[in-house]
Amino acid sequence: MAVRGQHARTRKASGLLARYSDTFGEMQLRKYTERAIRAARAEAELNARSKSAFLSTMSHELRTPLNAIIGFSDLLRQPRATSPGEASDYAEHIANAGRRLLNVVSDVLDMSRLESGSLSLDPAPLSIGEVLEIAVENARPAFAAKQQSLDLRLEADLPDISGDSKRLRQLFANLLSNASKFTPPKGRILVMAKAVKGGGVTIAIADTGVGMTHEQIVLALKPFAQVQGHLARTQEGAGLGLPLAMGIARLHGGSLYLDSQPDAGTTAVVTLPRGQAVSAPTSAATGKVA
């Protein structure tokens, strides 16, 4: 009898333990499910806000040059009301607005190709020093307009790398443009390049600009995100310069890193390997390489 009673108590305890385990498992599953739902909802809300902010920014970036083109074109349609000198100035404004509009559209298309993995490279052996010299010379007029100093320091005997010259010039043009935009007049920008172990190169673009917090850096590197809100924006641009630069660096098998502090400037560090560039990753913008 005592043995049967002990078995009965054991079966009862086992049953209670099984029911407790089932209940506890259901509670844990419910908790994890609710947590996943909250995370998905937060991500959806963030994506919706980012999309709304991007559309607002794009509306401004497209309407501004279009209004300039239409306005100055209307003035040119009145030849008796404009002198030859004024007509030349109006034509220059139209050309500048057209180039700005083209740059915005090109950046959006390139970002779309990066995210879809359809942006391919045309890699070939090249001198990174020559690429940087061209990018710096092309940027000098913008820096001169703000009386900013722009210095280029190249380490002797930089190794050649395999890359797409056009896309690398685009990468450095974007970084230089950002450095100029967010550095006050008479500020300083320094571009340096040196060889690294393994045959690659590291390029640093350091400025004396406004700088960013860690949270702002994370936001600035996200495609279609804006560090500044639309109403507080002080600089033109669709906010795609840094995500495009990071995507192009990753297409080449390299990386882009930002080191910055508020009111202490920003240093963009690009590392490029010597080896073959990747032709078309699954998603260079997010860093997922096929």
CATH number assigned to the domain comprising residue 210:
3.30.565.10
Give the domain range for residue 261.
Answer: 124-272
- Other C-beta atoms closer than 10 Å to the C-beta of 290 total 10
For the chain, the domain total comes to 1
CA 286 vs. chain centroid, Å, equals: 10
pLDDT at 35: 82
What pLDDT is attached to residue 227?
57
Distance CA 98, CA 79 (A): 21
With respect to residue 162, please indicate whether it lies within any of the assigned structural domains. yes
Per the domain annotation, does 194 fall within a domain?
yes
Residue 13 lies in a domain: no
Asked if residue 18 belongs to a domain, the reply is no
Flag whether 160 is in a domain: yes
Instruction: Report DSSP letters for 1-14, one per residue.
Output: -HHHHHHHHHHHHH
Q: Residue 128: its pLDDT value, please?
A: 93
In a domain, 166, yes or no: yes
248 is a domain residue: yes
* Domain contains 134: yes
* pLDDT at residue number 251: 93
What are the pLDDT tens digits along the chain (290 aa)? 554 555 555 555 566 666 666 676 677 777 778 888 887 787 777 666 666 666 666 777 788 888 989 998 888 888 776 788 888 888 898 998 898 888 888 888 888 888 888 888 899 999 999 999 999 999 999 999 999 999 999 998 898 999 999 999 999 999 999 999 999 999 999 999 999 888 899 999 999 998 998 888 888 887 666 555 433 345 555 678 899 999 999 999 999 999 998 988 999 999 999 865 554 444 444 443 32
